[in-house]
Copies of this chain bind each other. A is one copy, B any other.
Amino acid sequence: MTDQPNTPAPLKLPTLSTARIETLADGVFAIVMTLLVFDMRVPTQEQVDAVGLGQALLALTPNIISYVISFIILGVYWVGHHNQFFYIRRSDRTLLWINILYMMFVALVPFSTGLLSRYGSDRLSLIVYNLNLIAVGAVLYLHWAYATRDGHLLGHALDAKVDRLVRRRILLAPSLYFLAILVSFVSIAAADLLDVLIPILYVLPANFDSIFRGRQDR
């Protein structure tokens, strides 16, 4: 992380664009978002003969719940990644590796979500799930912090207020996921509820955007 000297060097490799990071990330997100559909199989004739089509479809309910939750959470992190690249317009080897780390944790989300939606009453699955999302959030923060450090990878000037808002917004999620782990030692049901509410915070337009709108109205 110390390979960006302030004075240009004649032999230094020129700065890379971000196009391929974004293509790779979009590919990984596309696969990981649809991963849980691979498990959703049409009931076999034997299953249907045994319990009827209605029951056989009902048995897929946990799959569908995991799929929807996982899709939404991945949506939140895809949007977050996408928005950062509005500002980030250059890349270097460190940024490539932060992205690879980000995708490594992102690709585990369907597993963690499936675990939680099946074993939500078990504290261990809650801890695994929340640790996964803390890792995703922490790497997303690292991504922003590295890219904006002395602005060397930015394509637009970054307002200090926007920077603070972005940082606060990124850090909110891992803080809440950490809180959910703590809460789980008091009440697992309350921790589950908190875990359901966190992504909704990020989907609703109210939170982040309203700050700008509020400011504007004055």
Q: How many copies does the complex hold?
A: 4
| Contact (Cβ within 8 A) A104 B27 | no
| Contact (Cβ within 8 A) B34 A32 | yes
Provide the bound-state CA to CA distance between A215 and B40, in Å: 46
Among A14-22, A133-141, A186-194, the stretch that binds chain B is A14-22
| Contact (Cβ within 8 A) A42 B111 | yes
Provide the bound-state CA to CA distance between A32 and B139, in Å: 22
Provide the bound-state CA to CA distance between A54 and B122, in Å: 10
| Contact (Cβ within 8 A) A38 B38 | yes
* CB of A173 closer than 8 Å to a CB of B: no
A93: B residues at CB distance < 8 A: 79, 205, 208-209
| Contact (Cβ within 8 A) A11 B100 | no
21 sampled A-B residue pairs with Cβ under 8 A: A3-B209, A3-B213, A5-B216, A11-B159, A11-B215, A13-B162, A20-B85, A27-B30, A28-B33, A30-B30, A33-B104, A33-B107, A34-B107, A37-B108, A38-B38, A40-B108, A53-B122, A68-B104, A75-B97, A79-B97, A79-B100
